Structure 1
Amino acid sequence: MHRKGSRGVLVGLAWGLVACGDPNVVAEVGKRDVSKGDVSAYLEARSAREAPSATQALDALVDRSLLADEARRAGLDKDPKVQARLRTAEREVLAQALLDQRLSAATDDAKLRERHAASREKLVRREVHVRQIMVLVPPGADEVTRNRLQSRINGLYARLVSGESFEVVAREGSEDTASASRGGDLGPVLEGQVDEGFFTEAARLAKGERSRPFATAFGFHVLEAVEPVRTVEPTFEQVRGRLEAEVRRDAQEALMKELRERIPVKRHPERLEARAQGPRS
């Protein structure tokens, strides 16, 4: 009796395991499974604005799986155009996966700090701290419009010459709304963060000195220096994004060079021409 009872328990456990199935499978659609990984990939591909729940993602994946299953039944997976699109999707996913793997190793915190230490002299930049009064010029403005806006900035500059406070004129007349509320104060600005012509004009000013009206691609400006131009060395945190972009670019170029040398490639551009021309009658 004891043996039979034990055997019954084992059989029951076995059937229970079969019934439970793979814990990573969250749906079965026909003969194909939808996994937790599929749901995670779907959610990662959605924007933060959409932000579906896991249940909504599963519902959407089931619907797409039903459509895909029916497409296979209809033989669409054998269509050359569909196969080309499938190969494209596979190629892009695998290529990006390799880049993510290789480039993430090249951009860890320690390596970025090493690059920062090795390139500190190159990272040194000038910094200005100015107030501005700005009159915006719409893209593609004609000469009549530009002349009218030039007259406006000249009028604001004339108020400064007559003795009005820069902060007051900026608050009342500047069209750069972000800085106008602060009396035109832009705060410290590093070289490369703003239009080159704008920075050049700002860097010429001594503390308290004002520029004459000048133009950039964005409009007309008048500046007043809060502090004299100075040379600064950006902190690691300030240039981390720039360093990471440079490291990723260098690592990708090195990877592509390695792959081109190791993997044979044959191109047949003449066949593209033949395809573009199509069959001749």
Structure 2
Amino acid sequence: MEWGIGCILAIGLVACESPEVVAKVGDTTVTRADLALYVQARADERPIEQSLEGLVDRALMAEGARRAGLLKDPQVAARVEAARREVLANAYLDREASQPVTFEALRKRYEAQRETLARTQVHVAHIVVRLSPDADARARTEAQARINNIYARVVSGEDFAAVARQASEDAATGARGGDLGPIREGQVDPRFFSAVSDLKVGTVSQPFETAFGLHVARALEPPQKVVPSFEEVRGQLAAQARHEAAEALMKRLREDISVKRYPERLSGLSEQRKSDGEESR
């Protein structure tokens, strides 16, 4: 209201501007929203006046580019349009997908999917001999010999925890007798989980390999099905809901907006893309 009265009084004296405008750079206005986005994008912790000067410098550069006619350059114009397109597309998707990812909507999704969210949980101890995936034949042979010796010791009756403390090359779990604690499907290397998920309590696996090395494992508890808490899977549910919203939105847009393609005009673009890729290497 005060701004409106000020503008009325200023008619004939100076041009009125919105209080949202924090700077003018040539013909370009810089708004509070522009400045807030600039600060957020750069995690800028400087005093706001210094941030404004930084934004003004960028605006000066952009204004200079506009006056130099760079918007007439097809590649520059395409990059500007690409940025505009991405901002609009993401903003539109954010708006359309906001309802499916509310707390209430995600809670309903969680309750509807509780059974399908259940995962197998195991509690095992392991002993590991480190082996890089790209190890040479000699290193692989030596590592295999060490894990075979460890396996022989534990199946012949030596205490698994004692062997783990003495021989495991995973210092953190070795100090705990190899105990990994409860682990769920999807939390560890799939090859590891596959090797231990069917072990009966007290039984020891044969040596097996993962990206981390060679292992033998011993089951400490029987496998069980566990339903993760809502907070554990909230991010997963939100991503799922957003994906479904995006697919529904694209389906509606394809039905509502006509699209005409001109494949005969694409000649030469594949070669150009290949050439650009070679130059960038």
TM-score by length of 1: 0.82
- Residue 245 of structure 1 corresponds to which residue in structure 2? 239
The one-letter code sitting in structure 2 at the alignment partner of 1:134 is: V
Distance 1:52 1:136 in 2: 47
- Residue 80 of structure 1 corresponds to which residue in structure 2? 74
- Residues 78 and 178 of structure 1: CA distance in aligned 2, closer, same or farther (over 3 Å): farther
- Show structure 2 runs of 5+ residues with no match: 273-281
Once the two structures are superposed, residues 49-73 of structure 1 have per-residue CA deviations (whole angstroms, 9 ceiling, x without a partner) of: x755544432221111111111112
Residue 94 of structure 1: how far off its partner (Å): 0.4
- Residue 7 of structure 1 corresponds to which residue in structure 2? none
- Residues 89 and 217 of structure 1: CA distance in aligned 2, closer, same or farther (over 3 Å): same
The one-letter code sitting in structure 1 at the alignment partner of 2:19 is: P
Residue 101 of structure 1: how far off its partner (Å): 1.2
Which of 57, 66, 89 aligns to 1:63? It is 57
Partner-residue secondary structure (3-state), 2:97: helix
- Residues 274 and 203 of structure 1: CA distance in aligned 2, closer, same or farther (over 3 Å): closer
Which of 100, 117, 133 aligns to 2:94? It is 100
Residue 123 of structure 1: how far off its partner (Å): 1.5
The one-letter code sitting in structure 1 at the alignment partner of 2:247 is: E
Distance 1:180 1:43 in 2: 47
- Residue 36 of structure 1 corresponds to which residue in structure 2? 32
Verify: 1:125 aligned to 2:106, yes or no.
Answer: no
Equivalent residues of 2:23, 2:29 under 8 A apart: yes
- Residues 35 and 228 of structure 1: CA distance in aligned 2, closer, same or farther (over 3 Å): same
**What are the within-5 Å matches in structure 2 for residues 185-224 of structure 1?**
185-224=179-218
- Residues 229 and 38 of structure 1: CA distance in aligned 2, closer, same or farther (over 3 Å): same
**What are the within-5 Å matches in structure 2 for residues 266-277 of structure 1?**
266-275=260-269
Residue 133 of structure 1: how far off its partner (Å): 1.5
Once the two structures are superposed, residues 137-188 of structure 1 have per-residue CA deviations (whole angstroms, 9 ceiling, x without a partner) of: 2232333332222122223334434655433433443333443343322221
The one-letter code sitting in structure 1 at the alignment partner of 2:195 is: E
Partner-residue secondary structure (3-state), 1:211: coil
Equivalent residues of 2:122, 2:224 under 8 A apart: yes
Once the two structures are superposed, residues 190-234 of structure 1 have per-residue CA deviations (whole angstroms, 9 ceiling, x without a partner) of: 122223332122122222322221122432111122211111222
- Show structure 1 runs of 5+ residues with no match: 1-9
Distance 2:230 2:144 in 1: 41
Distance 2:122 2:265 in 1: 57
- Residues 177 and 57 of structure 1: CA distance in aligned 2, closer, same or farther (over 3 Å): farther
- Residues 206 and 18 of structure 1: CA distance in aligned 2, closer, same or farther (over 3 Å): farther
Backbone CA RMSD of aligned residues: 2.9
- Residues 53 and 221 of structure 1: CA distance in aligned 2, closer, same or farther (over 3 Å): farther
Residue 124 of structure 1: how far off its partner (Å): 1.9
Distance 2:175 2:47 in 1: 41
Distance 1:55 1:177 in 2: 52
Question: When the two structures are aligned, how many residues end up with a matched partner?
Answer: 266
Distance 1:52 1:209 in 2: 60
Once the two structures are superposed, residues 6-58 of structure 1 have per-residue CA deviations (whole angstroms, 9 ceiling, x without a partner) of: xxxx99x946x9699533222222232222211221233236xx755544432
**What are the within-5 Å matches in structure 2 for residues 111-190 of structure 1?**
111-161=105-155, 163-190=157-184
How high is the sequence identity, in percent, across the aligned residues?
51
Equivalent residues of 2:207, 2:216 under 8 A apart: yes
Partner-residue secondary structure (3-state), 2:134: coil
- Residues 182 and 20 of structure 1: CA distance in aligned 2, closer, same or farther (over 3 Å): farther
Equivalent residues of 2:155, 2:204 under 8 A apart: no
Residue 81 of structure 1: how far off its partner (Å): 1.4
The one-letter code sitting in structure 2 at the alignment partner of 1:86 is: V
Equivalent residues of 2:132, 2:211 under 8 A apart: no
